[in-house]
Amino acid sequence: MKTYPLALILPAYNEELTIEKTILEFYKEIPHAFFVIVDNNSKDNTSQISKNTLLEHSIRGEVIFEPRQGKANAIRTAFSKIDAEIYIMCDADLTYPASQIHSLLHELKEKDLDMLVGDRLSEGDYGRENKRRFHSTGNKLVLTLINFLFASKLKDPMSGYRIFSRRFVKNYPVLSSGFELEIEMTLHALDKRFRLGEVSVPYKDRPAGSFSKLNTIKDGFKVVQNILWIFKDYKPMHFFGFFSLISGILSLVAGCFPVSDYILYKYVYHVPLAVLAVGLMLFSWIQIAIGLVLHTVSKIQRTNFELSLIRYGIEASSQRQKISATSSSQRFIESEIALK
């Protein structure tokens, strides 16, 4: 598999109105990059327009077809098929400026980051341009939760404009299937302690005639679901500890009356409440036990991941040395041939 210095990945679903201009805007800025357009089972001419644009302007790249619906499925396919030193991911709807790519690349290399996110929120453009208010509310809820759980200071964990190092991409399993991809990427970077950064970028809404594929009610439910999954998967002690605390408090409240009966009358009149109090307290301790077990499992998984990351670094270094040695040998042979 050939390794490209820079690869641009554009997941696209029914983007015939914007895909050509998106490709050309990025080509104007990074003509040396390898362009990968992932047609995510589009029902319009997205795929053909992409192929024609690459061909007409002699742009290095390819169009990949991914029949499984969902942005995460498209990115998963691209990550598995394309090998590059640096990956750029961007939506194909003209909402993110290609002109900002140079500052993003500079920041990634300058600070040796594993993932750099184009922050839409700091400049205030997203609030003015975005016409879907409920999506903004969902973004804020997720942002608040992530910063609380990981003691981070992120500004836009759901941005679709990102740059990755090869180290991150080759050690990141894409487990989601749809728009939750950006949340999953951010959580993986925070949980596994990859070097993460943000750079403020302008944002503008889709051009006239182009429509978002998100559904406010359906995707709003997914946001709430994601909030619960973030708790459970990444901070199990917080998740189960919360339910344990609530159950424990309710148990004490329910148990006040039976205890009061026994103290005053040496007999329990509120038997149902006594049973309820015992059940709630048992449930509370069960939740604590589950939280402790999953916390230990999570710690073991992080330990194994760190070890695999170390092995990846050693293998990558060894591979670079082999390539360097091979190149040196070829140059030596060529010079000997030239002398003869």
pLDDT (0 to 100) of residue 332: 40
Helices then strands, counting H and E runs in the chain, come out as: 11, 7
Which pLDDT tens digits describe the chain residue by residue (340 residues)? Answer: 788 999 999 999 999 999 999 999 999 999 999 999 999 999 999 999 999 999 999 999 999 999 998 899 999 999 999 999 999 999 999 999 999 999 999 999 999 999 999 998 887 666 555 555 555 677 788 888 889 888 899 999 889 999 999 999 999 999 887 778 898 999 999 999 999 999 999 988 767 655 555 555 666 677 677 777 778 888 899 899 999 999 999 999 999 999 999 999 999 999 999 999 999 999 999 999 999 999 999 999 989 999 999 998 888 777 766 656 555 545 544 554 454 5
Q: What is the pLDDT of residue 336?
A: 46
What order of strands is seen across the sheet that includes strand 83-89? 61-65, 34-39, 3-12, 83-89, 162-165, 115-119, 196-200
pTM to 2 decimals? 0.83
pLDDT 10s digits, 207-244: 765 555 555 566 667 767 777 777 888 889 989 999 99
The pLDDT score that the predictor gives to residue 190 is: 93
Residue 236: the pLDDT is: 92
- What DSSP assignment string belongs to 201-270? ----PPPTT------HHHHHHHHHHHHHHHHHHH-HHHHHHHHHHHHHHHHHHHHHHHHHHHHHHSS-S-
Phi-psi label, residue 78: left if phi above 0, alpha if psi -120 to 50, beta otherwise = alpha
Distances (CA, A) of 147 to 37, 73, 151, 221: 33, 27, 5, 21
The pLDDT, as a whole number, for residue 115 is 97
Instruction: Name the β-bridge partners of 65.
Output: 39
Report pLDDT for 76.
95
- Amino acid 163: pLDDT: 97
Tokens of 101: 């790519």
